[in-house]
Amino acid sequence: MALLDAKEYDPRPAKRRNRLIILAIVVVAAALAIWWVFRYWPQERVVNKFFEALERKDFDAAYGIYNADPDWKQHSEKYNQYPLPQFMLDWGPSGEYGVITSHKIDCAKEPPNASGVIVMVIVNGRAQETSMWVEKKAKTLTSPAPRELQCHPGG
């Protein structure tokens, strides 16, 4: 076969390769975007369940969520540092927020080198947000969070 007898160029394999490369880039970008949007979902879910229990006035369940221990009644002495009566003073009807009737998770952020995530919550439609600290592994809550977080720049 001589040089002038070469096969005619077929652009189909090159087009197929280009399409696969573009598809791979789109899939990776979509996966990264989904991860970015939902990266704090587990911590936001814990805070959401906590406030839903408070709205139902199910303080036993809320206390269990706060301590990441639904069976806390079996060993309540384990929580002497923050017992249920103190929890009721803080989160019950006589607490800072009064009767909690609504909540909205505003944002979440993980400080550098931290073991947890700060979740900002709007309680009862107040202008002032409250911050909740959620430990990533244990899913225990602390309020207020050790560091404040500004959800919206300039706000």
**What pLDDT digit, counting tens, does each position of 54-86 carry?**
999 999 999 999 999 999 999 989 999 999 999
pLDDT in tens, the chain (155 residues): 566 677 788 889 899 999 999 999 999 999 999 999 999 999 999 999 999 999 999 999 999 999 999 999 999 899 999 999 999 999 999 999 999 999 999 999 998 888 999 999 999 999 888 999 999 999 999 987 666 667 766 54
Q: Output the CA torsion sign for 14, 16, 18, 24.
A: negative
**Domains of the chain (ranges, CATH numbers):** 40-142 (3.10.450)
Q: Which residues make Cβ contacts (< 8 Å) with residue 25, sequence separation at least 6?
A: none
Strands 103-109 and 141-142: unpaired
In contact, 58 and 70? CB cutoff 8 Å: no
Cα–Cα distance list, 23 to 27, 46, 59, 87 (Å): 6, 35, 50, 52
DSSP per residue, 51-89: HHHHHTT-HHHHHHHHTT-TTGGGGGGGGTTS-HHHHHH
Terminal-residue alpha carbon distance, the chain: 74
The token pair that represents 56 in the structure block = 């139902």
In contact, 50 and 141? CB cutoff 8 Å: yes
The token pair that represents 112 in the structure block = 């550098």
